[in-house]
Amino acid sequence: MKVSIWHNNKDIKIEETPTPKPGPKEMLVKVHSCGICGSDIVEWYRLPRAPLVQGHEIGAEVVEVGQSIKNYRPGDRVMIAPKVPCLKCSYCKNGHYPACSNVKERLPGGFAQYILVPEVLVEKGTYRLPDSISYDQSTFIEPLACVVRAQHLAGIKQGQTVLVMGCGMSGLLHLKLAKTKKCTIIATDINKTRLEFAKKIGADTVIDASENVPERLTAEIGRKADVVVLNTSALSAIDQAWKCVDKGGCLVFFAVPGPDKPVTIPINILWTQEIKVLTSYYCGPPDITEAIKLLEAGTIEVDDLVTHRLPLEDIEKGFRLVIEGQESIKVIIRPHEG
């Protein structure tokens, strides 16, 4: 089978390896679609584990199951989480699944033609795809689950004003989800095409991020936002973000700058205005279940976000498209095509 080995964003090699045989409690799945995530291109985050097979937004078909597996059989359509929390440690018990300290095994990456699914992920990390969710759509389950989690943590309520900073795939999913809660949405980006798209899919107001966003925000809506979601690692956006949160509101770091770029928090201002600063990282099992429901019911539509479908051989191009972020929103790799 073909598999792509990521060394860094400019060096991704396609290699031929034997297709693995599942052990008694493992299964082999055929990857139909795998999305390139915004976090896949973040080298400071990924390089410590390189070289590796990337890809964690997976839509796959079961092709072979170990003899002890009763729940799945060849032909089943599934999505598989990249890792599963233990549900037993104190972090899990408090709902902080992404911080679970007992994660031992990860799913091998999905930028490959097949994946050998380890026992723990067969048991707890595999989700059956409803018929109405295509393989391409299923690549949005994991990113949407992360968005569901962030909005839950931020306590976004019906009718609130939400400022979405950065209109890449995550920002647009935030926009779509907040829209289902009848929020007023303001979106920012430096890319004009993305802003137009944000407007088309429901942003009430869009602001070019190169302008003075706090000023434009208050000019447009007469106040600041209840919730600000940062979907960009740009320090300039963070500088603007503090000034865009209304009293009692919150700022969510959905994306963060690299570790070599410290952020100074204006704590005194935030303190007297009871402004919360939150981080949201990854997702947990309840978020995945919720994301599947949202896609199954068609509450969140994602087809309009897919700009590129590429064969595995073109994965370097796919990464380049995501890094440049000019003409792409969602890039999906289809390892059995081309």
Q: Within a 10 A sphere around the Cβ of 159, how many other Cβ atoms? A: 10
Is 252 a binder of Zn ion (CB under 5 A)? no
Residue 201 CA to chain centroid, in angstroms? Answer: 19
Q: Which is nearer to Zn ion, 89 or 277 (CB)?
A: 89
Q: How far is the CB of 239 from Zn ion (least distance, A)?
A: 26
Length reported for the chain: 338
CA distance 281 to 224: 25
Rounded distance between C-alpha atoms, residue 197 and residue 213, angstroms: 19
Closer to Zn ion by Cβ: residue 276 or 308: 308
Is 86 a binding residue for Zn ion by CB under 5 A? The answer is yes
Q: Looking at 86-94, 220-228, 251-259, 287-295, which segment touches Zn ion (CB under 5 A)?
A: 86-94
The rounded distance, in Å, linking the Cα atoms of 338 and 319 is 17
Using CB under 5 A as the binding criterion, the count of chain residues that bind Zn ion stands at: 7
| Rounded Cα gap, residues 201 and 170, in angstroms | 14
**100 touching Zn ion, by CB under 5 A:** yes
Nearest Cα neighbor of 315 from 23, 31, 26, 19 is: 31
Radius of gyration of the chain (CA): 20
- Is residue 42 involved in binding Zn ion (CB under 5 A)? no
Task: Write down the least CB distance from residue 170 to Zn ion, Å.
Answer: 9
Give the binding range for Zn ion (CB under 5 A) out of 90-98, 115-123, 132-140, 291-299.
Answer: 90-98
Q: Counting contacts by CB under 5 A, is residue 85 touching Zn ion?
A: yes
Closest contact distance (angstroms) between CB of 97 and Zn ion is 7
Under the binding rule (CB under 5 A), the answer on residue 92 touching Zn ion is yes
Matching residue, tokens 């995945």? 288
Binding segment (CB under 5 A) for Zn ion, from list 33-41, 201-209, 214-222, 233-241: 33-41
Neighbours of 77 (CB within 10 A): 19
Which of 92, 321 has the CB closer to Zn ion? 92
- Nearest Cα neighbor of 240 from 164, 177, 159 is 164
**Under the criterion CB under 5 A, does residue 120 sit at the interface with Zn ion?**
no
Q: How far is the CB of 35 from Zn ion (least distance, A)?
A: 8
Paired strand residues for 310: 333
Nearest to 204 by CA among 244, 162, 240: 162
Question: Nearest distance from residue 226's CB to Zn ion, in Å?
Answer: 26
> What spatial distance separates the first Cα and last Cα of the chain, rounded to whole Å?
14
Q: How far is the CB of 80 from Zn ion (least distance, A)?
A: 13
Residue (of 138, 198, 153, 148) closest to 178 by Cα position: 148
**Could you tell me the smallest distance in angstroms from the CB atom of residue 171 to Zn ion?**
14
- Smallest separation (angstroms) from Zn ion to the CB of 224: 30
Q: Which of 29, 34, 36, 37 binds Zn ion (CB under 5 A)?
A: 37
Tell whether residue 227 is a contact of Zn ion (CB under 5 A): no
Which CB atom, from 89 or from 323, has the smaller least distance to Zn ion? 89
| 217 is a contact residue toward Zn ion (CB under 5 A) | no
Task: Tell me the C-alpha to C-alpha distance, in Å, between residue 181 and each of 116, 123, 145.
Answer: 39, 33, 16
- Residues 269-308 binding Zn ion (CB under 5 A) are none
**DSSP-based three-state secondary structure for 162:** strand
Which stretches of the chain bind Zn ion, using CB under 5 A?
A: 37, 85-86, 89, 92, 100, 102
